Amino acid sequence: MPMHQARDRANKLRAEIEELRYRYHVLNDPDVSDEVYTSLTKELRELEETYPELRDPNSPTQRVGGQPLEQFPTRRHSSPMLSLNDVFDRQELEEWAARVNKMLQQGQTSPSYHMDLKMDGLATALIYDYGELSYALTRGDGYNGEDITSNVRTIDTVPLRLRRDGTVEQAVYEGRIEIRGEVVIYKSDFQQLNAERGEQGEPAYANPRNLAAGSVRQLDPKLAASRPLRFHAYRVMGDTTPDNLYDEYQLAQALGFVVNDMHRLAPDVDGVMEFVNRWQTERQELDFQVDGVVVTVNQNHVRQELGVVGKAPRGAVAYKYPAEREVSTIKDIQVNVGRTGAVTPFAVLEPLQLAGTTVGMATLHNEDEIKRKDIQIGDHVVVQKAGDIIPEIVESLPKLRDGSQQPFHMPAHCPECDTPLWRPEDEAVIRCPNPDCPARTHRRIERFVSKSAFDIEGLGERIVKTLLDEDLIGDAADLFTLSVDQLEQLEGFGPKAARNTVEAIQASKRVPLDRFILALDIRHIGQEAAFELARAFGSLESFTRATEAELKQVDGIGDVVSRSVMNWMANSENQALIAKLQANGVTAEPTEQTGDKLGGLTFVITGTLANMSREEAETAIRNRGGSPTSSVSSNTDYVVTGMNPGSSKLQQARQHDITQIDEDQFYALL
């Protein structure tokens, strides 16, 4: 191909790839498949390799590149990147608004107020020269920030070139323009990352905010590129930008940036409070963390006239929602033994109110985290709801120590069975290696009887523990030998309850192969992997005789999972458990496969279905070749709405223009 043709083709490919990026990330309206995007990017990369003179540092192919840095250089902000003063109630908001109005020049009308959700991430400034990304800075001390350009370039929602669609004045591209915003990680992405780490035996990340901030500040851009970072813009600054904040948002979107589409204007404090009150409840349904509302005088020239007080602008405040973090005292540190043998420390706290609930315990993750945060028994600590769900300790407050505190040391022996604990190489988790540990046995049987496995109604955590404590069972296979007479002797069991429980156990003897595999509790085997293994091997006999090479051929089964299966099967006690289950009348039936009717389709179920459980619905989808997922994305094909659906999933479905169907329509698809 002649050079001029190659150059024209490369320019067209870059423009088309940027248009696809804009439609996917900004408009939430992708009009081609991911495969098309990948194919175009591959073609462009091959062109640039064939014709090195065509290489461009702002090409879509160059998002990840360069060597790790030794440290981040610092740069001075073109204008201070200040923090906001906080207000916590209507009275404080009214006092701020009154001060603003008092300072207005004579004859000026009261300003309007711009409101946007205050995202909990890392404030970042992007500087573009003549339409191309030049560098990116953290807030730093407000006057100087760290240059994190190499990492920001890896974020898909950051355009390397400003979008040109004919609606923006040419002058905007003819000089320097600064885009300020927040780098965040969505809750759904965070939960998926932690689920993957859990399957690999790795400790969970603490919270989306810390992970986003830490990822942006990785010295190796390849590490930043591996994290699902997103950038939301909230300021556009330059000589030719609009004179009001609301229009800046419109300009940012036209230039190719994601903005929060829930931002609004209000004429007075009443309108601001209406917005504040609405999102105080609804923010929990959003896919990103929100800790307040940013209230800003909309007119830029008025804000400039108002100036700065201390290190904060007078023309904006952050209305902070009730604290998601509180201080408590650690009464004790104990450990919990899980079904895989993981020994996890947790703090027993002086009870406190946090995000509307009473919290008495918080996870400490692992021994390394305790040492890193310098946590001791008796410490005052800052507690937060990680992702608004799991209580965790953010930091200790060592300056408040009075000498009564005691360092914590992980036990050398399992607190349940006294077996010496060990820490596998390359893991942060300490484990009990004893497969017969009472705590591990208890958790394994809980997994066995759960809805996603044998689904034995009436066998909860308390009853399983009682059966173990009374020596009525030693493993899951013993459940199938229980009699009504045995259960009637237990506290809380009358004749009817005992009979119903035994009937439920006997009714579960015939179970699909995928649920049987899941119930075996093989490390790294979740529902999806169990289903793929059942579909690939068809019978329990074939699965138990599979070689490692055969396992690796199964879709989604790699080295780690296949090795885990082989290790589990090589254990004679595990083989004895399968034989005992079969001897007690348990059979693993081929996982029902009713064709590929839903092949390639992805479903999200929200709310309660009237005629089947969520697990049954997800199984029906898998059996027909479809994929059930827990979160809505641009790759979702259908959102199935039952009774009391989650508003966040419905909102995301509307944002992505995804088809919503009711229960009857879902059954029709099946």
List residues with catalytic annotation.
118
* Under 8 Å between Cβ of 348 and 361: yes
Q: Which residues contact 425 (CB under 8 A, 6 or more apart)?
A: none
Residues belonging to the chain: 670
3-state class (DSSP) for residue 126: strand
* Under 8 Å between Cβ of 16 and 24: no
Backbone angles phi, psi at 514, to 5 degrees: -65, -40
Residue with tokens 């001075």: 76
Give the CB-side neighbour count of residue 568, counting CA atoms within 13 A: 21
Give the closest residue to 449 by CA, choosing from 505, 531, 523: 505
Q: Can you say whether residue 557 is alpha, beta or left, with left for phi > 0 and alpha for psi between -120 and 50 degrees?
A: beta
Question: How large is the C-alpha radius of gyration of the chain?
Answer: 29
* Under 8 Å between Cβ of 125 and 180: yes
Using N-to-C axis directions, what is the helix angle for 438-449 and 461-469, rounded to 10°?
A: 130
Strand extents, DSSP E, 513-617: 587-589, 602-606
Q: Which residues contact 486 (CB under 8 A, 6 or more apart)?
A: 472
Nearest-angstrom CA–CA distance, 475 and 459: 14
- For CA atoms 10, 15, 18, 19, the dihedral sign is negative
Residue with tokens 């004429």: 267
Q: For 555-580, b where at least 16 C-beta lie within 10 A, e where not — what string? A: eebeeebbebbeebbeeeebeebbeb
Give the closest residue to 250 by CA, choosing from 235, 229, 272, 271: 235
* Under 8 Å between Cβ of 259 and 248: no
137: which 2 tokens? 């800075």
Q: For 467-503, b where at least 16 C-beta lie within 10 A, e where not — what string? A: bbeeebbebbbbbbebebebbeebeebeeebbebbbe
Tell me the DSSP string of 56-117.
-TTSGGGSS-SPPPSS--EEE-SS--PPPEEE-SHHHHHHHHHHHHHHSPTTPPPPPEEEEE
Written as one letter, the residue type at 642 is G
* Under 8 Å between Cβ of 416 and 439: yes
